[in-house]
Amino acid sequence: MAGDANRVRLDLNSPEFQDVFFRLETAGLKQVVASLGRLRELDWHTLYRHTGFNWEAIDHLKAPNGARVYSLRLGQRIRAVAFRDGDFLRLVSLHPDHDSAYER
């Protein structure tokens, strides 16, 4: 596991994220949970370089803290919108329709 000092910590408390998360069908839910587990094991440097999550900036969005907002793949067709806040990756929304992550 990555050193705790720089480890990615997850914030899944967004109501918009949870609304979709709790309605996922079994296959999608398993994929998302497995991806979240992998994210918890990474440090930030590794996450930024990791190709499996297809970490992409969404240039037209800004987080409440002014940080860049990103889309990342959490399942075969599922993306999340998130931003970094200190050591936390704050997941804002979950998109089973892959392309809808960019339409906010």
Per-domain residue ranges for the chain?
Answer: 6-102
Inter-residue contact 53 to 47 (CB < 8 Å): yes
- Interior angle at CA 45, CA 44 and CA 46, nearest 5: 90
Where the chain has pLDDT below 50, the residues are 1-2
And the tokens for 91? 């997941």
The pLDDT tens digits for 6-23 are 899 999 999 999 999 999
Q: Note the pLDDT of residue 78.
A: 95
The pLDDT tens digits for 74-85 are 998 999 999 999
Residue range 6-102 forms a domain whose CATH class is: alpha beta
